[in-house]
Structure 1
Amino acid sequence: MNCARLAVLLTCYNRKSKTLDCLQRLFNQDFTSEVSLDVYLVDDGSTDGTADAIRQTYPQVKIFSGTGSLFWNGGMRYAFEEALKGDYDYYVWLNDDTMLYPNALAALLETSAQLAAKGEDKAIVAGSTQDPDTQEFTYGGIKQHGPLFPPFKVRSIEPTDTPQKCDAMCGNIVLIPRSVVQRVGNLDPQLTHYAGDWDYGLRAKQEGCTVWIAPGYQGTCPRNPTPEPGSVPKLEEGLKKMGQPKGLALQDVTLQSFDEWKIIMKRHGGLLWPIFWLLPYRRLLPTMLFRNPKKA
């Protein structure tokens, strides 16, 4: 059997301990067949010595430097761009706060092979994560509610003992075969941080590819914290955060810049995209305006 060549893509910023733990679990993976791993990591301007620590501990990692303005989508795109020069069999997205189980990548590769044997030879395979303390599902595959709902009105798909078809995926652990990359290419350069992973999955479907989750869990990753109910900032502060790469996180939605959200909705929202584009902002503006009445 030929050796499968994998390029593993990461981006990091000031999480030295987590990044090193993540890499340790990556290099300790158990495989049932011949696999080679090349790791492409973008350090986006860390000031905590992350890059130096990686060079000392894992000199085989290919490190690329950012300026601190790349964030998730930009950093992963940079790593992806460099890895594409190697024409690998598979490209693996991996978040540095995701701790892989020993057989995680083997499970993704096995699922990919099973799907290919059934004719699904252009299939993205995502892994699912669970909270390290509660063991509850955190990230993985997502399913859209339907064409009359906003494209990001979704439900999570918890893993079972068989592969499950999805519409898109969170980018924590994702296996992308060369056949998909040849159709979809890289992450979108117009996006900075939020929704680049979901957008990639939806674009893959538009190009005739499919998205699946592998059976079982492949690692742990705690869910990102959400603001307290009713914690709405003042108008000026809210608009400022909306214009930043990570957006404004509310309890059940993250509001992005108007421009980036418009790109996503126009691409995936169909004829109703203008409504879907403006719909999320209704959660914020009336409340903030009420809390900031004009002075007489």
Structure 2
Amino acid sequence: MKQANLAVIMTCFNRRNTTLACLNALYQQKNHCDVYLTDDGSSDGTTEAVKAEYPEVKILQGNGNLFWVGGMHLAFGEAIKHQYDYYLWLNDDTFLEANAVSKLLQTHQSLAEQGYPESIVVGSTKDSITGKATYGGAVKSKKWYSNKFEFLEPSSAIQKCDAMYGNCVLIPKSVVAKVGNIDTAFVHSLGDLDYALRAGKLGCKVWVAPGYIGTCTKNSIRNSWADTNLNILERLKKVLHIKGFPLKSWTVFCSRHSGSFWIFYWFLPYVRAVVGYKDLATSPTFSEDISQTNSEV
């Protein structure tokens, strides 16, 4: 397999040491890559530290209001201009194991040989302490709630899935040619899920690579709209926040992906914020709570 021309897409905000640790693990990989990193207005010296330790990183500056989707859109868009063979989305709190990138590239090569060149390959992560699965691919629930996507536990084989958490995702240029960039109709959440669903509608496939590619701690629901320790008013404010289900973004997502009865599904997170959604506190998977999956940027 020839050396792939690879761009790594990242965004960060005010967690300098975490970002540096992520880059350190990335540069331990055997595969050469160009890194495009959006720093969305960090005040903790992230940009200066990255420039000092990794001067080859291409840093783009945000205004502090880009959040995850906006930051990734900016970096991804810049990389797309240079027409790489592959693009790797990587959250800055995801720490790759040795040969993780090679594993993802080999998985795509295997899929291409099987007749699926237009395939997104998702890397699964686990908690560094407990070893429990955290992020990766997701499959659409067979239950009645059409917006529910459940985490797909990785196995020793390549598995087909419907959607993905955007922590570590390999996208070949053939998919980018069809789907384009992350949609800025979203701000912090839902952009990764939307990308996978749009890709599927355009004939592309989404697959989970075998095993785990690294570690990433799952974001806590504490102090979020799903935290039943908060009062109803606080939960309502948080569910409407950028990191929850802001009205405009959630309307776009539901009308785009939830079928003729999308308005019914549109109401659910707001209703659950009022009545409480205890399932989210105990379940290892998050149904429509995709807002908790993306990096806190």
Q: TM-score, normalised on structure 1?
A: 0.89
Paired residues of 1:9 and 1:40 also in contact (CA < 8 A): yes
Where 2:134 maps in the other structure, the secondary structure is strand
Amino acid at match of 1:263: V
Residue equivalent to 2:265: 276
Partner of 2:125: 129
Map 1:132-143; keep pairs closer than 5 Å: 132-143=128-139
Q: Per the alignment, in what secondary structure is the counterpart of residue 75 of structure 2? A: helix
SS in 2 for 1:246: coil
Q: Does 1:233 align with 2:231?
A: yes
1:109 corresponds to which letter in structure 2? L
2:55 to 52, 55, 59: 59
What is the letter of the counterpart of residue 239 of structure 2?
Answer: M
Structure 1 equivalent of residue 173 of structure 2: 178
8 Å contact from structure 2 (residues 232, 274) kept in 1: no
Q: Which amino acid aligns with 1:62?
A: K
CA shift, 1:148, in A, is 4.2
Cα distance in structure 2, aligned partners of 1:212 and 1:70: 28
Q: 1:216 maps to which residue?
A: 211
2:189 to 194, 214, 219: 194
How far apart in 2 are the matches of 1:160 and 1:286? 36
CA distance in 2, matches of 1:177, 1:271: 32
Q: Distance in 1 between matches of 2:232 and 2:81?
A: 47
Q: Which amino acid aligns with 1:14?
A: N
* C-alpha distance in structure 1 between counterparts of 2:86 and 2:208, whole Å: 16
Task: Give the aligned partner of residue 266 of structure 1.
Answer: 255
Is contact 1:128–1:214 with CA below 8 Å preserved after alignment? Answer: yes
Counterpart of 2:212 in 1: which secondary structure? coil
Deviation at 1:157, TM superposition (A): 0.7
| Equivalent AA in structure 2 for residue 241 of structure 1 | K
1:220: Cα distance to partner?
0.2
Distance 1:146 1:209 in 2: 21
Q: Which string of whole-angstrom CA distances, capped at 9 and with x for unpartnered residues, describes residues 95-124 of structure 1?
A: 000000011100000000000000001000
* 1:19 equivalent in alignment to 2:19: yes
2:149 aligned to 151, 154, 171, which one?
Answer: 154
Provide the C-alpha distance between the structure 1 equivalents of 2:107 and 2:267, rounded to a whole number of angstroms.
38
1:216 to partner: Cα distance: 0.5
The partner residue of 1:69 within 62, 65, 68 is: 65
Shift of 1:150: 2.2
The Cα of 1:190 is off from its aligned counterpart by 0.8
Mapped contact 1:232–1:284 kept (Cα < 8 A): no
Distance between the aligned counterparts of 2:116 and 2:78, measured in 1? 27
139-148 or 7-16, larger mean C-alpha shift: 139-148
Q: Is the 8 A contact 2:236 2:270 kept in 1?
A: no
Give SS of 2:166's match.
Answer: coil
The percentage of aligned residue pairs carrying the same residue is 49
Q: CA deviation at 1:189?
A: 1.2
Corresponding residue for 2:287?
none
Q: Secondary structure at the match of 1:271?
A: coil
**What amino acid is the match of 2:91?**
N
Aligned length: 273
Q: Is the 8 A contact 2:236 2:274 kept in 1?
A: no
Instruction: Report the counterpart of residue 240 of structure 2 in structure 1.
Output: 243
Greater relative contact order (Cα < 8 A, sep 6+)? 2
Which residue number in structure 2 is paired with residue 251 of structure 1?
none
1:115 aligned onto 2:115: no
Q: 2: CA distance between counterparts of 1:147 and 1:268?
A: 16
Give the 3 Å change call, closer, same or farther, for CA 239–226 of structure 1 in structure 2: closer
Secondary structure of the 2:150 match is strand
Quote the residue 2:274 is aligned against: 285
Decide which structure has the larger Cα Rg and report it: 1
Name structure 2 gaps, 5 residues minimum: 277-297
Give the deviation of 1:45 after TM superposition.
0.4
